[in-house]
A and B are shown apart, each in its own frame.
Chain A
Amino acid sequence: MKKMLAEKTVEVNEEGYLLQFAQWDKDIANAIAVEEKVELIDRHWKAIEWIQNEYKNDSPLSIRGIKNSGTLNIKEFYELFPGGPLKKASKIAGIPKPKSCI
């Protein structure tokens, strides 16, 4: 479905995750962050950049990945995206929600 974010029309799924990563930009990230009640500061952008790189390398976002990343620490990640950090961070970074098989 279509949705207006930061005065742009983007394609999202039922839960508001972007369907095309190409449509992502920083304004859109900010707009999603507002909906998720997260205020993006420098440390968030670092996290988002790391998450997007992982996504481009086809490696699914995971707590272990974050632990081993050297860029982020888990406690900090939880503070940055309180309540469901993987989901929130994925949504703001414009990548699909972490999922299982069904």
Chain B
Amino acid sequence: MKNLIILGAGTSGTMMANHLVSKLPKNEWKITIVDQYKTHYYQPGFLFLPFDIYKEKDVKKEGKKFIPKGVTYIQKRIEKIVPEENKVQLENETLSYDVLIVATGSKIAPQETEGMKGPKWHKNIFDFYTYEGALALRNKLRSWKGGKLVIHITEMPIKCPVAPLEFAFLADTYFRKKGMRDNVEITYVTPLSGAFTKPKATAALHYLLEEKGIKELIDFNIDRVDYENNKIIDYGDIAVDYDLLVTTPTNMGDDLIKRSGMGDALNFIPTNKATLQSLANENIFVIGDASNIPASKAGSVAHFEAEVLTENIQNYIKGKELKEEFDGHANCFIETGNGKALLIDFNYEQEPVRGNFPFPVVGPLSLLKESKLNHLGKLAFRWIYWNMLIKGISIPFVTAKMTKKGKYITN
């Protein structure tokens, strides 16, 4: 028997287990998946927890339930990958593999910024990228009297890069509904050159910030948090005061990648952006947030990657050439508050443009334009996630390769 091992049973790992179980001959291949936690979190739901839109139960389920029969599930911490020996060391056992898929994701690293994870962490400095952070923030917001709310991104890349902006929009709606919007000053602080940086999106969407009275501070590269005086300070010595800081800390691959000597400066694994094979080892493949490919770190991207990777794993096993198929396709709903949302669709080459999705002209979802239907789409995504996406059931009409039909492409 040969061994295929999947590291991480999050969005990507779970999808790959479901795809591969029916594709690899059972009498030749044993598939094993390893994760440290019992719980599988629906991370996109963390955006809604702080505003009491979702409850705890909406965002967590037992991970094992989504692993198909025929795949061995091991709940243990992964210590180290030893590529030279084709081995993976777990807490107290060692596994050998013929093919390895790394799907260990990325996580926040607030300790990377001086003063962030200090005595004020989860007191008046919060993240909403973790279950614990989102819940702590919810409890804070329930009783917060108002003041300066600063929504901040530490550095790129972060997963779901629009989530902080969505947070700003939802915060505006939340405080309005509570009748306290006048008591809250919302500032969006980003290291990028704008809340939106691509020309078409900027032109189509900048009005949202103005309409909601959200201030924008750009090109801000944080040096440290002065938690005693409630300020964030950048390398150019610009300081921003806050009463409540909602930051998205540096995102990094798991320490395991560092221990294994396989990552870049942020513990992401150098990976071929079209085949998803790791650059250093031909029998190691990387999917989802764990890789360094220049695609967005998002569940929808992982979904498209999974289709390409499933084919390539089969190609690799049969000794065939790998397909250079992955085009960076991403497809995201963006909450804009007031029960509306946007939908964007883009890849490595093509920036988001206006149009309709998934069908040209008729949609029904409109691209790069606010609508109530898109908001329902975003909420429906939770159902799709638990019931289709991670189970590897393909979503009708949405293909791994991006289509340009029905889009207003001028360049």
Contact = CB atoms under 8 A, between A and B. Distances in A.
Interface of A: 13-14, 58-60, 62-65, 68, 74-75, 77-78, 82-87, 97-102
A57 B330 CA distance: 24
A68 B265 contact: yes
Interface stretch (B94-102, B193-201, B308-316, B394-402): B193-201
A62 B162 contact: no
B352 interface: yes
B192 A100 contact: yes
Overall SS of chain B's interface: loop
Contacts of A68: 265
A102 B344 contact: yes
A58 B294 contact: yes
Contacts of B196: 100, 102
Contact of A98 (B161, B193, B223, B344): B193
A64 B155 contact: yes
A82 to B, nearest CB: 7
Contacts of A82: 236
Contacts of A83: 219, 236
B63 interface: no
A102 B332 CA distance: 11
Given A64-B265, A78-B236, A87-B193, A102 B221 contact: no
B155 A62 contact: yes
Interface of B: 155-156, 161-162, 191-193, 196-199, 201, 205, 218-219, 221, 223, 235-236, 250, 264-266, 294, 296, 330, 332, 334, 344, 346, 351-352
Contact of A97 (B197, B236, B352): B197
A71 to B, nearest CB: 15
Central interface residue in A60, A87, A99, by most chain B CB within 10 Å: A99
A56 to B, nearest CB: 14
A86 B155 CA distance: 12
A102 B236 contact: no
A87 B156 CA distance: 14
A68 B193 CA distance: 22
A45 to B, nearest CB: 21
B205 A102 contact: yes
Central interface residue in A63, A65, A86, by most chain B CB within 10 Å: A63
A84 B194 CA distance: 11
Which 7 residue pairs across A and B have the least CB separation, nearest first? A102-B201, A84-B219, A99-B197, A63-B221, A101-B296, A100-B197, A78-B236
A101 B236 contact: no
Nearest to B352: A102
A65 B268 CA distance: 14
Given A74-B235, A78-B235, A78-B236, A102 B197 contact: yes
A83 B334 CA distance: 30
Contacts of A78: 235-236
Contacts of A100: 156, 161-162, 192, 196-198
Nearest to B192: A100
A75 B235 contact: yes
Contacts of B155: 62-64
Contact of B265 (A65, A77, A85, A97): A65
